[in-house]
Amino acid sequence: MAAMSPEPPSPAPAPAPAPAPTPIDEDSAWDAFSRRDRLADGRFVVTVRTTGIYCRPSCAARRPRREHVRFHATPEAARAAGFRPCLRCLPDQVARDRLAVARALALLEEADTVPALTDLAEAVGYAPHHFHRLFKRATGVTPAAYARGLRNQRADIALRHQGSVTAALYEAGYAAPSRFYADSETRRGMTPGRWRRGGDGAAITWTMIATPLGQLLVAMTVRGLARLAFDEDAARLAEHFPAARIDALGDGDAEAIRERIATLACPDPALPIGARRIAFVEAVTQALAARDQPPERQL
């Protein structure tokens, strides 16, 4: 019997085409460029035909006439079109800046205690003063404030699961009880012991605030904030504080809080949603805690 010849191999599948870049809405891009919107940095670059340069949307230079401007999705596309980077706003730096902020967020997540700014900046390759401004611009809060927000989350978890307040405060990363008890006044609206006991007679008022990051539960006592949380509502609040008296906040007070929160900048949308929410909650904490305090006592 004649040997059967092997079948020819099947051709390799063609590689999937690269995804097409998201089209740029030129009217929205021009609006962001006109407002020097820092949140638009990294989404596109702006080329100016009369100068031959490309810029970040937030560039501080004087705005050219609309007919001299074009928008490109990336710095590479702008360079391919024959433009050179602006020496004032350094548009090629955006990607490096975002990587540095993302790395710093990861380091803060991993840290047991709040790291010094100099150590954090050195770890991501920036000078401290420059990195401080860069981090705050991207997140809306300073590195130290973001670390406090993380520590507050850990403290909430530790208070529910540790056997004592003392064990909880050290588990959360506090170096001493005094700071922990002071924070509990503004961040929990009651002593840690009462918080652990489900509110234990405390009067808590609450409202829901719509934000670009989702619905935010705002709950407070006469002493300070009791809870700030995304993806929670009045029913979840009652589960946290079964021994408290809980009522909806009056319309006037709720509107005042809504107006205060509306003034806060949202973190860079390129950052992970979890990090953006931590930063935003910390910014809200600072804004609301500052309402009735003199400047020297503000967070």
Query: So what's the pLDDT on residue 103?
Result: 93
User: 43 Cβ partners below 8 Å, 6+ apart?
Assistant: 57
Report how far residue 129's alpha carbon sits from residue 137's, in angstroms, rounded to the nearest whole number. 13
Count the alpha carbons within 13 Å of 62 in the hemisphere toward its beta carbon.
4
Report how far residue 53's alpha carbon sits from residue 133's, in angstroms, rounded to the nearest whole number. 25
Query: So what's the pLDDT on residue 190?
Result: 92
Report how far residue 134's alpha carbon sits from residue 30's, in angstroms, rounded to the nearest whole number. 24
Amino acid at residue number 6: P
Identify the CA nearest to 247 among candidates 258, 238, 259, 257: 238
Residue of 32, 46, 78, 89 with catalytic role: 89
Confidence of residue 94 (pLDDT cuts 50, 70, 90): confident
Residue of 39, 53, 55, 141 with catalytic role: 55
Query: So what's the pLDDT on residue 275?
Result: 95
Q: What is the CA radius of gyration of the chain?
A: 25
Q: Is residue 59 among the annotated active site residues?
A: yes
Per the rule left: phi > 0, alpha: psi between -120 and 50, beta: everything else, 82 is left
Q: Is residue 55 among the annotated active site residues?
A: yes
Structure tokens at 204: 């808590």
Does residue 293 have a pLDDT over 80? no
Query: So what's the pLDDT on residue 117?
Result: 94
Q: What is the mean pLDDT of residues 113-131?
A: 92
Q: What is the tens place of the pLDDT at every residue in 123-169? A: 999 999 999 999 998 999 999 999 999 999 999 999 988 888 999 98
Residue of 32, 45, 46, 59 with catalytic role: 59
Query: So what's the pLDDT on residue 298?
Result: 38
Q: What is the tens place of the pLDDT at every residue in 245-259? A: 999 999 999 999 999
Q: What is the mean pLDDT of residues 112-127?
A: 91
| Dihedral over Cα of 258, 261, 263, 265: its sign | negative
Query: So what's the pLDDT on residue 17?
Result: 44
Identify the CA nearest to 152 among candidates 186, 190, 197: 186
Confidence of residue 291 (pLDDT cuts 50, 70, 90): low
User: 128 Cβ partners below 8 Å, 6+ apart?
Assistant: 117, 118, 121, 122
β-strands 53-55, 84-85 pairing: parallel
Q: Is residue 266 among the annotated active site residues?
A: no
Average pLDDT score over the chain: 87
